[in-house]
Amino acid sequence: MDKKRILITGAAGFIGSHVARLFINKYPEYEIYNLDKLTYAGNLENLKDIDKNSNYKFILGDIVDSELVNNLFEEYKFDGVIHLAAESHVDRSIENPMDFIMTNIVGTVNLLNAAREIWKGSHENKRFYHVSTDEVYGSLDLEGFFYEDTPYNPHSPYSASKASSDHLVRAYHDTYGMPVIISNCSNNYGPNQFPEKLIPLFINNIRNNKPLPVYGKGENIRDWLFVKDHAAAIDVIYHGGKIGDTYNIGGHNEWTNIDLIKVICKVMDKKLGRANGSSEELITFVTDRAGHDLRYAIDSQKLQNELGWKPSLQFEEGIILTVDWYINNQKWLDNVTSGNYQKYYNKMYENR
Ligand code: NAD
Ligand code: TYD
């Protein structure tokens, strides 16, 4: 299989950095290009262990800039795209939807157009892999799962923008025969996640003895997958997935927020040598998120049956690895929470 020059968008972010590291180490014969705008969520520190590798190149740029994107495709003639660049946080999308529309929708179409232009004539060994989320399917009651053919029903500006980009990617397959693949994954956790998402935010707040803001009653349910298992799934889907198909990725690992938070509190008490129960005292119930989806749960049988992927880690191991990483990388946390983070935090949480 060819697919040697791969553009990974958003590889300075959380999941993208794990995908880039996996590809750079596992496929030394590939050339990996990372196009990233370095928003608040993008951090070159995430890749500092591999950024000197000869098969890796970082390109600073915005996928919304169509001229730049076209020029890059023209210059590097990418064989494959793994598209992860996105605005990714639901709460930010509620505050400011327009950034999500521009990056997640317009940016995706810019990449599709540029790939279509240089791949016209032959799609052999070409692949446009769009990384998406289970949030496009909407919200479940306490029963049932999301399947690949579950109708889309997004509720937040974030999930609606991702749903829109998924539809456009499929439209480019159906209309122009573009060699696309989509995967929809459940909530990820692990090292290098920006501390605005639940797990790293709460680890950081416990570390700093700050309140733990639980939305509503903490009864919402998420299905958590360790980020390296998501990266491994992306690898098998990129190489073995069927063109035009969709794959759901998830770990059958559902937790109510409040139960999950109590696990984090316990692990943190132990790691920080604090009295058992002291972190739980920081739990504070706050105003619920607008349009808060009750439950996400993925059925990933198709991926398991067709491509043999399955999660490698139990949640109990993954959360310990995760807490260890943040405790051992407090400088990383301090760096990403300096600057504008405080402004963001005050705006998001002061009136809850
Ligand atoms: P993230 O916010 O940590 O990283 C996003 C990256 O994209 C950052 O490096 C940022 O600088 C870059 N970026 C943002 N706008 C850009 C632009 N206009 N041009 C170029 N680069 C830009 O996100 P993440 O959590 O790593 O998510 C990556 C992808 O996976 C997203 O598409 C997201 O929808 C999807 N996803 C995330 C999860 C999750 O739990 N985090 C679950 C399923 C799917
Ligand atoms: P989050 O990590 O933002 O992921 P998503 O909304 O994409 O699933 O949130 C996970 C869950 O945790 C979600 O139900 C909202 C809840 N949550 C809180 O209770 N408090 C918080 O401060 C945050 C950020 C999230």
Q: Which atom of ligand 1 is nearest to the CA of 185?
A: 43
Cα–Cα dist 39/41, whole Å: 5
Which CATH number belongs to the domain containing residue 86 in this structure?
Answer: 3.40.50.720
Q: Could you read off the pLDDT of 205-224 as tens digits, one per residue?
A: 999 999 999 999 999 999 99
Distance 295 CA to ligand 2 centre (A): 11
Give the range of the structural domain holding residue 105, as residue numbers without chain letter. 5-192+224-255+291-316
Whether residue 1 is predicted with pLDDT greater than 80 in this model: the reply is no
Q: Could you read off the pLDDT of 174-183 as tens digits, one per residue?
A: 999 999 999 9
pTM listed for this prediction: 0.98
Cα–Cα dist 297/57, whole Å: 36
Query: Using an 8 Å Cβ cutoff, are 120 and 77 in contact?
Result: no
Q: Could you read off the pLDDT of 262-291 as tens digits, one per residue?
A: 999 999 999 999 999 999 999 999 999 999
Measured CA to CA in angstroms, residue 115 lies from 94, 132, 179 at distances of: 31, 18, 10
Of all ligands present, the nearest one to the C-alpha of 196 is 2
> Is 197 a domain residue?
no
> Is 120 a domain residue?
yes
Host H or E run for residue 250: none
Cα–Cα dist 261/243, whole Å: 39
Q: Which atom of ligand 2 is nearest to the CA of 257?
A: 12
Of all ligands present, the nearest one to the C-alpha of 183 is 1
> Is 250 a domain residue?
yes
> Is 334 a domain residue?
no
> Which residues are known catalytic residues?
134-135, 158
Q: Could you read off the pLDDT of 295-342 as tens digits, one per residue?
A: 999 999 999 999 999 999 999 999 999 999 999 999 999 999 998 888
Q: Could you read off the pLDDT of 91-128 as tens digits, one per residue?
A: 999 999 999 999 999 999 999 999 999 999 788 899 99
**Looking at residue 2, what is its pLDDT?**
52
Pocket of ligand 2 (CB under 6 A): 90, 187, 197-198, 201, 213-215, 220, 222, 257, 289
> Is 309 a domain residue?
yes
Query: Using an 8 Å Cβ cutoff, are 246 and 162 in contact?
Result: no
> Is 265 a domain residue?
no
Cα–Cα dist 344/205, whole Å: 14
Residues in the chain: 352
Task: Tally the domains of the chain.
Answer: 1
> Is 264 a domain residue?
no
